[in-house]
Amino acid sequence: MRQGRVEVICGSMFSGKTEELIRRMKRAKFAKQKVEIFKPSIDTRYSDEDVVSHEGNSIPSTPVDSSASILLMAGDNEVVGIDEAQFFDPGIVDVCNELAARGVRVIVAGLDLDFQGRPFGPMPALCAIADDVAKQHAICVRCGALAYVSHRTVAGDKQVMLGEKQEYEPLCRHCYEEATGGHRE
């Protein structure tokens, strides 16, 4: 039986999380493994169906409304990718554990922190159960240091607000503190 595992790719926006997920999935495909990638159906920024990186690279995916759908649709795939995991319900943790127990390599990408610098959705729990966690870093647009948070540049206090470079900027801890007046927004 295959050895299952959970790999988490996390970090701020513009850090290359989706790019790394696509790279790993394409390598698995090249190795003739059966793969499937899922994304939350609410993520329609670049495509309704494909997972697309900020750099424009893409891979076909299956949009789903809940984590339970992933378990139902994973079938006999050897590798399952999940993009934008922070948007899924807490059940995504059990889904990843179940798939790994079945011998599936699960590769999950998502924001670890929201725009307020707080842990985002199920990502902390996914990091905790992962066999491997890769923290990606963007570059702070203000000083060039490694960024750690996606700072929202437009008004709004809802945790989930789909956006791009017009709505978010990657900032290091110091520049984020300056931008928010030294407190969480």
The answer to whether the beta carbons of residues 88 and 122 sit under 8 Å apart is yes
Answer positive or negative: Cα dihedral of 156, 162, 166, 171.
Answer: positive
Token pair for residue 53? 């990186």
Strand partners, 139: 146
Residue 31 confidence class, pLDDT cut points 50, 70, 90? very high
In the chain, the percentage of residues whose pLDDT exceeds 70 is: 84
In CATH terms, 5-136 corresponds, of 3.65.10.10, 3.40.50.300, 2.30.30.100, 3.10.450.50, to 3.40.50.300
Mean pLDDT of 46-74: 80
Q: 36 an active-site residue?
A: no
Beta strands 168-171 and 149-152 are antiparallel
The string of pLDDT tens digits covering residues 137-182 is 999 999 999 998 999 887 667 655 554 556 889 999 999 999 998 6
Identify the burial level of 58 via C-beta atoms within 10 angstroms of its C-beta, where 0-12 means exposed, 13-18 middle and 19 or more buried. Answer: middle
Q: Which residue has the tokens 């890769």?
A: 134
The string of pLDDT tens digits covering residues 5-23 is 999 999 999 999 999 999 9
Domain boundaries, the chain: 5-136
The DSSP output letter for 4 is P
- Which residues have CB under 8 Å from 162's CB, separation 6+? 42, 43, 44, 45
Q: What is the value of pTM for the model shown?
A: 0.89
The answer to whether the beta carbons of residues 24 and 107 sit under 8 Å apart is yes
| Annotated active-site residue in 84, 164, 169, 177 | 84
pLDDT at 8: 98
The string of pLDDT tens digits covering residues 112-135 is 999 889 999 999 999 999 999 999
